[in-house]
A and B are shown apart, each in its own frame.
Chain A
Amino acid sequence: MFRDAVLVAGKDLKVEYRSRVGAQQVLPFALVVLVIFAFTLDANHDLLQTAAAGLYWVAVLFAGVLTVQRSFALEAADGLRDGLRLSGLDPAGIFLGKAAAVAGQLAVLELFLAGGIAVLYSASLHGIVLLVLSAVLATVGLAAAGTVYGIVAAGLGVRETLLPLLLLPVVAPVLLAASKVWEITLQSGPGAWGWMRILVIFAVVYLAAGVLAFGPLLEES
């Protein structure tokens, strides 16, 4: 399973590196979202700083939806989904590989967006251990849930519009918990670890669900 996951993740990341869709479209889109929020709330700079954590995770979430869509669009043409079924790869390995590739891309994007909120919102990024740990957990959860719902939407003709509709409500707990951890940490407040538990539970549940359900979902797609 893990050998297959490495193979699939390597393939997906190589496709993304060659196509540069992430670097030239998804990342600029996420930065534009941050800039738009900055324009909208700039008159109230204190509010902008207070809301920086939430706005950061909203931008990550939007970019995450695009990244997941892209991940499944790779196999939408030229019989590639049949190729994936025929490949003999373990479906759980395919799930873990695709989720890992999405997580890797999101991690890079989050680094740029963190720079974005530091510059645009004057957010002071202290408490770096908590910020990074929560970002890792939230990213794993987003990637795992996105990959599960990505394959659900992949076999449907309206996948481009259906995926956000399915995914955004499901990942609302990640958005809430990650925003809270970042907000508390950026303001040096207490209580971040309680929200961290939600991130751990979400990531574990969706990783397990994906490993178990991806095979049947791939057959149906």
Chain B
Amino acid sequence: MAEAVLLRNVVALAGRFPVLAGADLTVAPGQVVLLRGANGAGKTSLLRLCAGLLPVASGQALVLGEDLSLDSRGVRRRVGMLGHATQLYDDLSVRDNVRFSVRAGGGSARDADAALEMVGLTGRLADTPASRLSAGQRRRAALASLVGRRPELWLLDEPYAGLDADARGLLDGLVTSAVAGGASVIIASHEAGQVEALAQRTVTVAGGRTTEAVLVP
């Protein structure tokens, strides 16, 4: 089966600055890969590149079979990204936000409602404007948008930030069931312990390069 992600010597620029300077990464279908690295090492850039948000300057970049150097838009509907921003419209309710995101990805209002239930945002909370949510609740709402879209590739950038213990457990459970369903997951995280248990491989990013890939027993 083709790799979910195949990057070979990929260079990507932000303006004139090379945020990725020859990155290599392979992720198999159904695999969870943990990205490690200091702040500014290029972890977020690597995730944004896989999402088709950062153009490929040179090298080979195939994500879900799509060649990103030819077309970076085609893959977007098939990936889900949970980043530092929650991508919520403050004036819309949680339900409206999630429904918009899920329907934009080709899903239905029913898929969105099911996702809200999965992350525990039901009842009055679902009808609360996003502006009134706590940081942790906003992360849950963003997670519901991601889950409802049923992406084939999950790109999680510091996904545990702002989450309490229950929500962390919930996230781990959602990742586990997505992987069981065939999705691949890349997690960029500074957290130790919990996330390492999920990952089959750890890749270290430094200076815009993937410098190390260690198999976790």
Query: In the complex, are the beta carbons of A80 and B51 less than 8 A apart?
Result: no
Given A18-B91, A88-B77, the answer on whether A82 and B104 have CB atoms closer than 8 Å is no
Bound-state Cα–Cα, A77 to B89, Å: 9
User: Which residues between 86 and 106 of chain B lie within 8 Å of chain A, taking CB atoms?
Assistant: 86-92, 96, 100-101, 103-106
The 0/1 profile, CB within 8 Å of A marked 1, for residues 168-207 of chain B is: 0000000000000000000000000000000000000000
Number of interface residues of B (CB under 8 A): 26
Question: Among A15, A18, A80, A87, which residue has its beta carbon within 8 angstroms of that of B104?
Answer: A87
| Distance (whole angstroms) from the CB of A201 to the closest CB of chain B | 31
Query: In the complex, are the beta carbons of A82 and B87 less than 8 A apart?
Result: yes
| Distance (whole angstroms) from the CB of B27 to the closest CB of chain A | 18
Given A15-B92, A86-B53, A87-B76, the answer on whether A7 and B104 have CB atoms closer than 8 Å is yes
Query: In the complex, are the beta carbons of B81 and A86 less than 8 A apart?
Result: yes
Bound-state Cα–Cα, A4 to B83, Å: 24
Q: Is the C-beta of A11 less than 8 angstroms from some C-beta in chain B?
A: yes
Residues of A within 8 A of B59 (CB): none
Residues of B within 8 A of A14 (CB): 92, 96
Q: Is the C-beta of B33 less than 8 angstroms from some C-beta in chain A?
A: no
Q: Is the C-beta of B143 less than 8 angstroms from some C-beta in chain A?
A: no
Q: Is the C-beta of B110 less than 8 angstroms from some C-beta in chain A?
A: no
Q: Is the C-beta of A198 less than 8 angstroms from some C-beta in chain B?
A: no
Number of interface residues of A (CB under 8 A): 20
Query: In the complex, are the beta carbons of A11 and B100 less than 8 A apart?
Result: yes
Query: In the complex, are the beta carbons of A87 and B105 less than 8 A apart?
Result: yes
Q: Is the C-beta of B11 less than 8 angstroms from some C-beta in chain A?
A: no
The 0/1 profile, CB within 8 Å of A marked 1, for residues 36-74 of chain B is: 000000000000000111000000000000000000010
Query: In the complex, are the beta carbons of B106 and A79 less than 8 A apart?
Result: no
Residues of A within 8 A of B120 (CB): none
| Distance (whole angstroms) from the CB of B126 to the closest CB of chain A | 15
Q: Is the C-beta of B162 less than 8 angstroms from some C-beta in chain A?
A: no
| Distance (whole angstroms) from the CB of B52 to the closest CB of chain A | 8
Residues of A within 8 A of B100 (CB): 7, 11
| Distance (whole angstroms) from the CB of B31 to the closest CB of chain A | 22
| Distance (whole angstroms) from the CB of B97 to the closest CB of chain A | 9
| Distance (whole angstroms) from the CB of A104 to the closest CB of chain B | 17
Query: In the complex, are the beta carbons of B91 and A78 less than 8 A apart?
Result: no
Q: Is the C-beta of B216 less than 8 angstroms from some C-beta in chain A?
A: no
Given A86-B76, A87-B101, the answer on whether A80 and B87 have CB atoms closer than 8 Å is yes
Bound-state Cα–Cα, A86 to B105, Å: 9
Q: Is the C-beta of A126 less than 8 angstroms from some C-beta in chain B?
A: no
Residues of B within 8 A of A15 (CB): 89, 91-92
Query: In the complex, are the beta carbons of B76 and A79 less than 8 A apart?
Result: no
User: Which residues between 118 and 154 of chain B lie within 8 Å of chain A, taking CB atoms?
Assistant: 129
| Distance (whole angstroms) from the CB of B47 to the closest CB of chain A | 11
Q: Is the C-beta of B12 less than 8 angstroms from some C-beta in chain A?
A: no
Residues of B within 8 A of A87 (CB): 76-77, 101, 104-105
Bound-state Cα–Cα, A77 to B130, Å: 13
Most buried by A among B83, B89, B101, B105: B89
| Distance (whole angstroms) from the CB of B145 to the closest CB of chain A | 8
Q: Is the C-beta of B85 less than 8 angstroms from some C-beta in chain A?
A: yes
Residues of B within 8 A of A78 (CB): 85-88, 90
| Distance (whole angstroms) from the CB of A154 to the closest CB of chain B | 16
Q: Known pairs A7-B103, A19-B91. 4 more at Cβ < 8 A?
A: A7-B104, A14-B96, A79-B85, A87-B77
Selected A-B contacts with CB under 8 Å, 7 pairs: A15-B89, A78-B86, A78-B88, A82-B87, A86-B51, A86-B53, A86-B81
7 interchain residue pairs of minimum CB distance:
A79-B85, A88-B77, A83-B87, A87-B104, A18-B91, A19-B91, A79-B87
Q: Which residues of B contact A (CB under 8 A)?
A: 51-53, 73, 76-77, 79, 81, 83-92, 96, 100-101, 103-106, 129
Q: Which residues of A contact B (CB under 8 A)?
A: 4, 7, 11, 14-15, 18-19, 74, 77-80, 82-83, 85-89, 215
